[in-house]
Amino acid sequence: MVPFLDLDTQYRSIKDEIDAAVARVLDTSQFILGREVAAFEDEFSAWCGVEHTVCVNSGTSALHLALLAAGVGPGDEVITTPFTFVATVAAIHYVGARPAYVDIEPRAFQMDVTRLERAITPATKAIMPVHLFGHPVDMDPLLEIAARRNLVVIEDAAQAHGALYKGRKAGTMGELACFSFYPGKNLGAYGEGGCVVTNNAEYVRTIRLLRDWGCEQRYYHKLRGFNYRMEGFQGAILRVKLRHLDRWIETRRSHAEAYRQLLRDTGVTTPVELPFARHAYNVFAVRTPQRDAVHATLGEAGVQTSIHYPIPIHLQEAWRDERYGEGDLPVAEQVSREVLSLPIYPELSPKQIGEVAGAIRRWPALATSARSRTGN
Ligand SMILES: *Cc1c(COP(=O)(O)O)cnc(C)c1O
């Protein structure tokens, strides 16, 4: 039995540090924001190499506040990808703006920046690249277009802690970037969490106000804000986990390499790392035309897999949009039918990786199609 996620093995490996961190919060009763969250903000800024981090209660809230701080609102368009978690697009709608979709490229499944400029209209206000699965978007051409067309860049780095683009960390290239600390992300809290990072002090002031009801001083509301504050427990826990993050990402990368070796000649396509990229492998999405059958067979063999994501956002019932229909974003639509995410957390053992790969290798139709392709 190989679970898709295994949070308790990781907890046991750092139990003493976590328990002490939780006790510190209990001892001080700083349950909302407080000094653990403030200390984590400083430490995360240093780890990213940015000036400011503002912690909030989820990655979705981070996206919402980043868009508000950037002045995106009703009538504006934000260019993004249809192949992402729904939160990216939901946040654009929360501020009253509309998403404009650029299809993905078929190798790393990121926004195809060669199509970006054509998507810009007079209403375009911002670009929201998503470093999906932990692989960075090709940022140089995107940043060049954004600068020339005067557009704000807000990175959705929710899955990309530790990803590098030409040596630069995901989350340090746009005016603003958003991370999620959802438990399954590369840096996961023990509950909900997220943050905005930026070098812009003005944005920081606005986001700090908006996350706490728009108050500088309690009960004096300068802005129409939200209850988007991070809990003290999450700050304390994230401080502990940040100290292990680089090692965990390295382990994810070596697991990815092991899978690549073991899945050679099986007919499933393993993720690529484009020349400019260092993949952080929050999600290890293989690709096969027989996705649904492989998904089901692995499940029966006790290997839990997942599908990120089965339906691109423009075809999701809740987010239908008259400007986009079936066939309009063909690469995203095709990839959605073929991707399958294998377990990739750091605590996965070599034996478990072997079990996952073995279950795929035993899948008869794949074995046959791989044999006929390689001619043996
Ligand atoms: C997880 C995720 C989010 C939202 O983060 P939450 O913390 O779950 O609100 C946004 N964008 C992407 C790409 C994500 O994977």
Give me the mean pLDDT over the 97-109 stretch: 98
pLDDT, tens only, 275-314: 999 999 999 999 999 999 999 999 999 999 999 999 999 9
Gap from CA of 247 to ligand 1 centroid (Å): 23
The answer, yes or no, to whether any atom of ligand 1 lies below 6 A from the CB of 134, is: no
* Nearby residues of 194 by Cβ (< 8 Å), 6 or more positions away: 55, 56, 57, 58, 59, 60, 61, 62, 158, 178, 179, 180, 181, 182
The answer, yes or no, to whether any atom of ligand 1 lies below 6 A from the CB of 341, is: no
Gap from CA of 85 to ligand 1 centroid (Å): 6
Look at residue 252 and give its three-state secondary structure: helix
Give the C-alpha distances (Å, rounded to integers) separating 37 from 23, 44, 233, 235, 286: 15, 10, 8, 4, 36
Q: Are 135 and 277 in contact (CB under 8 A)?
A: yes
Structure tokens at 292: 């649904």
The share of the chain scoring above pLDDT 70, in percent, equals 97
Gap from CA of 321 to ligand 1 centroid (Å): 21
Which among 351, 332, 254 is positioned nearest to 89, based on CA atoms? Answer: 332
Global pTM reads 0.96
Element (H, E) at 55: strand 52-56
Tell me what pLDDT residue 310 has. Answer: 98
* Nearby residues of 38 by Cβ (< 8 Å), 6 or more positions away: 235
State the pLDDT confidence band at 375, using cuts at 50, 70 and 90: very low
| Half-sphere exposure at residue 334, Cβ-oriented, CA atoms within 13 angstroms | 13
Provide the 10 A C-beta neighbour count for residue 299.
12
